[in-house]
Amino acid sequence: MMNAAKGKIPGPQGGIEIKKTICSICNPDSHCGVDAYVKDGKIIKVEGTRANPHSGGILCPKGAAQRQYVYNKDRLMYPMRRVGERGSGEFERISWEEAYEIIGERLKGYKDKDGAQSVCFFSGFAKWYRMGLMRLASAFGTPNYGTESSTCFRATQLCWKLVFGAGTQPDFENAGLLVLWSKNPAYSQFYQSRLIFDRLEQGMKMIVVDPRNTPMTEKADIHLKLRPGTDGALALSIAHVMIRDQLYDREFVEQYTWGFEEYKDYVREFTPQRGEALTGVPAELIVKAAHMYASVKPAAMMVSASPVVHHVNGVQNYRAVMMLIGLTGNFDIKGGNVVTPYGYCYSSSFVKTNERTFEGERYDGIKGIGEEEFPVWFRLIRDEVQAVRIPDYVLKREPYGLNAIVGFGLNHRMWPDSNYMLEALKKVGFFVNTELFMTPTCRYADLLLPACSSMERREIKVYNENYLICSEAAIEPLGESRNDMEIILELAKVLGLDDEMLGMTYDECMDFLLRPAGVSLEELKKHREGMYAPVICPHEEQAYKKKGFRTPSGKMEFFSQVLSDYKGREGYDPLPVYRTPYEVYPHLSPAEYPLILSSGCRKPQLVHTRCYRMPWLTGLEDTSLADIHPEDAGGLGLAQGDEIRISTPKGSLEAHANITRAGQKGVVFLYHGDPQRDPNELMDKDYLDPISGFPGYKSFVCRVEKKGEESYE
Ligand SMILES: Nc1nc2c(c(=O)[nH]1)N[C@H]1C(S)=C(S)[C@@H](COP(=O)(O)OP(=O)(O)OC[C@H]3O[C@@H](n4cnc5c(=O)[nH]c(N)nc54)[C@H](O)[C@@H]3O)O[C@H]1N2
Ligand SMILES: Nc1nc2c(c(=O)[nH]1)N[C@H]1C(S)=C(S)[C@@H](COP(=O)(O)OP(=O)(O)OC[C@H]3O[C@@H](n4cnc5c(=O)[nH]c(N)nc54)[C@H](O)[C@@H]3O)O[C@H]1N2
Ligand code: SF4
Ligand SMILES: [Mo]
């Protein structure tokens, strides 16, 4: 018996049971299948679930370190009420009933006094409960439901809506060429990189557009190593070559696009030579890439949710990039960029669920946070507000004040000028956070509710293979922690909201969500490792030929009619006009701050703020390293590992120099989320893209000095 347990061999003999669950340490389109070995109610080991077609039995280092996530000393175990100063971290344990009572009283009080809009509901990176949270906010009567997508997926979604009226997925399984524009799935979505590497072995070509060397650029036929934030100029230059050399898809352009003549005129000035001057990519490589993209058919383009739009010219750049899909005639064809229906919970699939019905319409009786400033966002993104402005509504109380923030995984380091957000959390009337861990942000909360991890809850998951699973809770929730969705349903009761969806039990919710997929919750539970969805909505290829595009012109728009409605607003050009960050924000002086600070390029072992408390992961690479190019390091007299100070107009932090050619000259790269050195403390809160409100995380200005040799200020 001892031996069976020691060897972690499942079976009654050693008392070890395998639970079929999922990892949710990173993004929902990953969420690998996990076999959790459980003995005496404790997880003693994890392995990948081989039968899961999405992850194929593999776990990344983060998933393999799962136990350090679940059994972390920082886990919140009980509801707690703050007793010390905000930030002091002094809390006392209270019961769930007491916690709910306080929340109910405070939120209802603010609603009566200043209106429901003075209460804001917010979700951090976790997504699985969001349909409930959005509904809760709407039922409460506030338009102010916001999420981390205010710095992530929504800007690209906005661009897709502006240009094509719909989003697409790259069908690289059938493509002759993959244009990987600003994405590094080897680190950020490893299941995808596996598939891409397989396709490369089968002969698919690949162009990668990335300012860094990555495992993807190493396999590329062409690597366009552009300067950060110059994507628009590069795309316009590629378009110039395609039009000049008559390589574009005339039929598609003539029949299905709007504003091509204006676009063509604008693109005329973006010769490859000008492209080289603006982007740093050699002119001949621009020509070569344009020829390859226009001639290899079909070709798919994969663009990430974030790096292109993490610039103050991000929306226009992203539009310029995606227009190449139309120009090359690869829109909605097999092996190109296929219009894919929204699947479940931020993943695309052909499985229909009731998620949208569940979340309902966002309440919009009164303008939401950021609505005056970012009108196009609110016109096209109906579901949520632009949350980067939350602190302004708290601190300036204009156009109205926020009194209360109900956070689920709210982490102030997501915000540009994260200390400004912290200031808002100090001042706001009431702040409750539902969290797994006692984070630095939690220390400022009035009330903390303990959430459980994916190992401790059942959850429905829909993979893009059209595969479903209802994960098992491997263990009981630790302490008194509960699952977020249950907390939301309980909050609805406490707030006295009479809502048919929020009145369901958690199991009833899951059953309702699954219904259109043709399977009941009970049935799905029987398939412990998951199953293919019985009902799939078939894809109608090139539906635009019959139905048109969901844009004002009914066509793909090179010239945006939506943006032209806002003429006169800075940056809202109907054409994908290229401007450098310094043109958008002329007060930034490259003389004083000669380097670019690019923060947040993904690392395989870290996810935002989540993994810094996991020693197996922080032990893989020193987290204090900032990447500096040898030529910049030479000019600064830096040696590998030297202590440095990175300064921006907003502040400074200390790091160690990692001298590497992986990045590029003139740019310092640093990961984000580290409480010891948070680059977002160095960002200006107003350094935002004027259309999306996205922070310029990947091209702020900075200066680097060797520690001890800093200039006097
Ligand atoms: N400088 C810079 N900043 C960036 C970025 C960048 O590239 N550079 N990237 C941006 C992007 S793309 C994103 S998506 C954001 C992410 O920003 P955040 O959403 O802030 O990211 P996380 O730190 O992953 O998650 C926030 C909190 O959620 C908690 N949490 C985890 N799981 C659950 C759960 O199931 N329930 C609850 N209630 N809480 C949970 C975690 O413990 C964590 O404290 O950061 C943005 N910030
Ligand atoms: N391990 C891990 N995985 C993650 C996350 C994580 O934190 N850790 N976060 C998840 C989230 S929230 C997101 S949004 C995704 C992001 O997923 P990805 O976009 O794949 O990740 P990044 O590394 O931010 O960016 C991809 C590549 O874009 C390049 N890049 C940086 N700036 C620019 C630019 O200006 N132009 C161009 N063309 N390329 C640029 C970077 O060098 C990088 O190699 O990852 C998800 N997966
Ligand atoms: S953290 Fe790793 S194991 Fe977990 S879901 Fe993401 S890729 Fe999979
Ligand atoms: Mo993201």
pLDDT tens for each residue of 288-314: 999 999 999 999 999 999 999 999 999
How much distance in Å is there from the Cα of 414 to the middle of ligand 4? 10
Q: How confident is the model at residue 379 (pLDDT cuts 50, 70, 90)?
A: very high
**Does the Cβ of 31 fall within 6 Å of ligand 3?**
yes
Nearest CA residue ID for atom 5, ligand 1 = 600
The residue whose CB lies within 8 Å of the most ligand 1 atoms, and thus the one to mutate among 24, 121, 148, is 148
Minimal CA–CA distance to 676: which of 657, 654, 656, 694? 654
How far CA 25 is from CA of 18, 63, 179, 413, 638, in Å, comes to: 20, 7, 28, 18, 36
pLDDT tens for each residue of 537-559: 888 889 999 999 999 999 999 99
Write the single-letter amino acid at 488: I
Q: What is the pLDDT of residue 5?
A: 67
Please report the sign of the dihedral spanned by the C-alpha atoms of residue 417, residue 303, residue 467, residue 611.
negative
Q: CA triplet 377, 374, 689: central angle to 5 degrees?
A: 95
Q: Mean pLDDT across the stretch 455-478? A: 97
Structure tokens at 188: 């950020």
Q: Mean pLDDT across the stretch 435-464? A: 97
Q: Which residues are registered as beta bridge partners of 556? A: 257
Q: Minimum-distance ligand to the CA of 487?
A: 1
Q: Minimum-distance ligand to the CA of 127?
A: 1
Judge contact between 233 and 252, C-beta under 8 A: no
Q: Where are the beta strands (DSSP E) in 247-318?
A: 257-258, 299-303
Read off the DSSP letter of residue 444: G
Q: What is the pLDDT of residue 475?
A: 98
Structure tokens at 29: 């389109």
How much distance in Å is there from the Cα of 151 to the middle of ligand 4? 7
Q: Mean pLDDT across the stretch 575-602? A: 90
Specify the residue for token string 């000393």.
73
Atom of ligand 3 lying closest to residue 607 CA:
1
Please report the sign of the dihedral spanned by the C-alpha atoms of residue 41, residue 47, residue 49, residue 53.
positive
Is residue 12 pLDDT above 90, yes or no? no
How much distance in Å is there from the Cα of 413 to the middle of ligand 1? 8
- Please enumerate in sequence order all residues whose Cβ is within 8 A of that of 631, keeping only pairs 6 or more positions apart, or say none: 665
Classify strands 33-39 and 42-48 as parallel, antiparallel or unpaired: antiparallel
Q: How far apart are CA 611 and CA 170, in angstroms?
A: 30
- Please enumerate in sequence order all residues whose Cβ is within 8 A of that of 449, keeping only pairs 6 or more positions apart, or say none: 76, 79, 99, 432, 433, 434, 435, 482, 487
Q: Mean pLDDT across the stretch 270-282? A: 98
pLDDT tens for each residue of 656-669: 999 999 999 999 99
Structure tokens at 318: 């992203």
**Does the Cβ of 433 fall within 6 Å of ligand 2?**
no
Judge contact between 438 and 89, C-beta under 8 A: yes
DSSP 3-state assignment of 473? coil
Mean pLDDT (the chain) is 96
pLDDT tens for each residue of 43-56: 999 999 999 999 99
Q: What is the pLDDT of residue 4?
A: 67
**Does the Cβ of 190 fall within 6 Å of ligand 3?**
yes
Q: Minimum-distance ligand to the CA of 672?
A: 1
**Does the Cβ of 184 fall within 6 Å of ligand 2?**
yes
Q: What is the pLDDT of residue 586?
A: 81
How much distance in Å is there from the Cα of 178 to the middle of ligand 4? 22
Q: How far apart are CA 157 and CA 155, in angstroms?
A: 5
**Does the Cβ of 613 fall within 6 Å of ligand 1?**
no
DSSP 3-state assignment of 628? strand
Is residue 590 pLDDT above 90, yes or no? no
Minimal CA–CA distance to 596: which of 226, 224, 227, 276? 227
Is residue 322 pLDDT above 70, yes or no? yes
Q: How far apart are CA 490 and CA 484, in angstroms?
A: 10
Is residue 2 pLDDT above 60, yes or no? no
Q: How confident is the model at residue 710 (pLDDT cuts 50, 70, 90)?
A: confident
> Exposure string (b/e) for 206-217, b if CB count within 10 Å is 16 or more?
bbbbbbbbbebb
Is residue 14 pLDDT above 90, yes or no? no
Atom of ligand 1 lying closest to residue 128 CA:
35
Q: How far apart are CA 10 and CA 410, in angstroms?
A: 38
Q: Which residues are registered as beta bridge partners of 178? A: 206, 300
How much distance in Å is there from the Cα of 616 to the middle of ligand 3? 15
**Does the Cβ of 211 fall within 6 Å of ligand 2?**
yes
Q: Name which of 87-91, 386-390, 589-593 the model is least confident about.
A: 589-593
Q: What is the pTM of this model?
A: 0.97
Is residue 404 pLDDT above 60, yes or no? yes
Task: Please report, rounded to a whole number, the percentage of residues in the chain having pLDDT higher than 90.
Answer: 92
**Does the Cβ of 75 fall within 6 Å of ligand 3?**
no
